Structure formats: structure tokens, C-alpha cells
Amino acid sequence: MKLLAPLMLAALLAAPVIAAAQDAKGPAKPDLAKGEAKYTAVCAACHGADGNSGIPANPKLAGQHPQYLVKQLQEFKSGKRNNAIMTGFAAMLSDEDMKNISAWLAAQKAKPGFAKDKDLVALGERIYRGGIPDRQIAACAGCHSPNGAGIPAQYPRMSGQHADYTEAQLAAFRAGARSNSVQMSQVAAKMNDREIKAVSDYIAGLR
């Protein structure tokens, strides 16, 4: 008993040191194999086997910044971003699942898209690159970069995204149906249907 007490005390004193050492290493790296397995089971039917959705209403996720994907999944799960289908799927995912899936998707190669409406693409380019100054609408390129690559951990990659999906999201921001980005709500609120359609089509063709 006398020997056991010092050993227990030593273990208790060592515990904070071990925990501190683990914290110093930082969070565990995402497990891409687990991410792929969970993605295949939960997400692939709607977003494609490699994250390149073939359904225009569903976004392409391949090559997207992992921090952005994690944020969206967390907000679907919490209800901050309202979508009945995605809320149900996100509810099945743990934080670890979200990080693993997002890291795996970020490592997939995004397939290019293309603009479809030649009559509107010039207007879309003007808005994307220069905004609409007389209505204080900022250029999309300022946050999403000139080629649509976005800025990691801040603004999502947009290049090649389905025009139908982008158009639907801008309309949702404008209507208040999507409210998880104040910046995007403020931008979309000032745009008309034609401008939203034009910039969405232009983004689809960005490389």
C-alpha cells in the first residue's frame, strides 16, 4: 500500500504533462481513407463518386477548401444553414467525419465546367471582375479570386461550379432563405434575376 501511493501520485502528476505534450502536437491529421469511406456511404449518390457532381442542382465539392466544407456541414447540422436534405445527412456525421470527408474532397481534382448562355456571359464577366459600382456591389473576384479559386479558410472555390446551383444559392441569399453569410446576403440583395443568372453562368466557365 505504501508503494502504491507514490506510484499513484506520480501518475497523477504526469497526466497534465502528457496532455500538454499531446496538445503541443496539435489536432490529429484527417484520415483520408476514413473520409473516402464515409463520403462514399453518405454523400456520393448526390455529389458524385469523386466529388464532381453530375447533377446541376447539387454542388461540385471536389477541390473545395476543407475549412469551408467543414463549416457548411457544421451549419447544416446545427440548423444555421437551412436545408432539410443536408441537415439529415449532416446529423449522421461527427466532427471527425466532417474533417475527414472535407480533407478527402479537397484532395480530389475538380473537373472544369462551362458557360452555357453566350448572351449573358459578358455581363457575368463584368460583374464578377468589376462588380456593379453604381449599386455598391463589389466584384466577386475580390473574395473568390480572378480565376475562382477562392481563398483558403475564408472564401470558397467557385470556378467550374454548376450555374444552376450558384444561381439557386444567390437567389436564396437574396430571399433570406440562406442566411449563413452576411456578406453574400448583402451582395445578393442588390442583384436582379438577370445579373444573378449572368454571373452564375460566367462562374461555371471559370478555369
> At which of 106, 132, 160 does a domain end?
106
Residues contacting residue 113 through CB under 8 Å, at least 6 positions apart: 60, 159, 160, 161, 162, 163, 204, 205, 206
Answer for the pair 162, 59: CB distance below 8 angstroms, yes or no. Answer: yes
Whether 138 and 181 share a structural domain: yes
**Coil, strand, or helix at residue 132?**
strand
180-181-183 Cα angle (round to 5)? 160
In this structure, is residue 95 part of a structural domain?
A: yes
Position 28 scores a pLDDT of: 83
> At which of 77, 106, 135 does a domain end?
106
Answer for the pair 124, 168: CB distance below 8 angstroms, yes or no. Answer: no
In this structure, is residue 12 part of a structural domain?
A: no
Whether 144 and 168 share a structural domain: yes
* Max CA distance (Å), the chain: 87
Locus of grid cell 478555369: 207
Mean pLDDT of 11-39: 69
Whether 163 and 87 share a structural domain: no
Segments forming the whole domain that contains residue 170: 118-204
Whether 92 and 148 share a structural domain: no
86-103 pLDDT per residue, tens: 999 999 999 999 999 999
In this structure, is residue 83 part of a structural domain?
A: yes
Total domain count for the chain? 2
In this structure, is residue 112 part of a structural domain?
A: no
In this structure, is residue 146 part of a structural domain?
A: yes
Domain CATH code at residue 53: 1.10.760.10
195-207 pLDDT per residue, tens: 999 999 999 999 8
Tally Cβ neighbours within 10 Å of residue 160: 20
146-167 pLDDT per residue, tens: 999 999 988 999 999 999 999 9
Q: Report how far residue 50's alpha carbon sits from residue 63's, in angstroms, rounded to the nearest whole number.
A: 10
What are phi and psi for residue 150, nearest 5 degrees?
Answer: 75, -170
Position 207 scores a pLDDT of: 87
In this structure, is residue 15 part of a structural domain?
A: no
35-87 pLDDT per residue, tens: 999 999 999 999 999 999 999 999 999 999 999 999 999 999 999 999 999 99
Confidence of residue 119 (pLDDT cuts 50, 70, 90): confident
Note the pTM of the prediction, 2 decimals: 0.85
Whether 125 and 101 share a structural domain: no
